[in-house]
């Protein structure tokens, strides 16, 4: 069975969705740098092995080395970022195959708060991008995108909800393709 490590920092809805859709086909482990992240509770409920390295407890170089050693020990086929909010060191990016999901049609609106940025800018179309992780911020080669027309008068909250629905649809499909499932 192929192994993936999902890295998440917050709520974990993409993590839970992936586990529910692929958990019987792939060995999944969770990593978080945020010991208070809700994703950890989701992992406990789903009985997914979890690793936590509290980012705030280390100098950046120490954290990067601990994370690198943990990932090397796990030997994942793929690392899946799902709301992981730290930049990975070049040592990690260069060693592992890593993908990320981003709530915009990259290259537009990279970085944080992308849905809000697109909404405030007034774009008519936004969407979701799955891309390879490189040493930039949301600059890796695009694997797949799905667009969403922004209806006139839609609230930011409703747009965020629609973007998350697309994320939950697209990410497991991309993972299945990449893992040959």
Sign of CA dihedral 96, 176, 116, 107: positive
85 is in an annotated binding site: yes
Are 12 and 39 contacting, i.e. CB atoms less than 8 angstroms apart?
yes
86 is in an annotated binding site: yes
What residues does 3 pair with on adjacent strands? 27
Q: Which residue has the tokens 């809000």?
A: 116
Query: Cα torsion for 18, 106, 120, 17, to the nearest 10°?
Result: 0
Q: Which residue has the tokens 């990016």?
A: 93
88 is in an annotated binding site: yes
12 is in an annotated binding site: yes
The end-to-end CA distance of the chain, in Å, is: 10
Burial (CB count <10 Å: 0-12, 13-18, 19+), residue 1: exposed
Q: Name the active-site residue from 51, 102, 131, 168.
A: 102
- 168 given a catalytic annotation: no
Q: Which residues are annotated as a binding site?
A: 12-14, 60, 85-88, 100
Which residues are the active-site residues?
Answer: 102
Q: Which residues are annotated as a binding site for (6R)-10-formyltetrahydrofolate?
A: 60, 85-88, 100
């Amino acid at each position: 069975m192929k192994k993936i490590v999902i890295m998440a920092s917050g709520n974990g809805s993409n993590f839970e969705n992936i586990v529910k859709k692929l958990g019987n086909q792939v060995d999944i482990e969770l990593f978080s740098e945020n010991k208070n992240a809700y994703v950890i509770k989701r992992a406990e409920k789903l009985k997914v092995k979890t690793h936590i390295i509290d980012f705030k407890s280390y100098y950046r170089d120490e954290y990067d080395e601990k994370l690198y050693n943990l990932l090397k020990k796990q030997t994942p086929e793929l690392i899946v970022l799902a709301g992981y909010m730290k930049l990975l060191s070049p040592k990690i990016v260069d060693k592992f195959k890593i993908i990320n999901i981003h709530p915009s049609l990259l290259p537009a609106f990279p970085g944080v708060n992308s849905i809000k940025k697109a909404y405030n800018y007034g774009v008519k179309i936004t969407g979701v991008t799955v891309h390879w992780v490189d040493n930039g911020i949301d600059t890796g080669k695009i694997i797949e995108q799905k667009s969403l027309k922004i209806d006139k008068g839609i609230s930011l909250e409703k747009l965020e909800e629609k973007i998350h629905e697309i994320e939950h649809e697209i990410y497991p499909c991309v993972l299945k393709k990449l893992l040959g499932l």
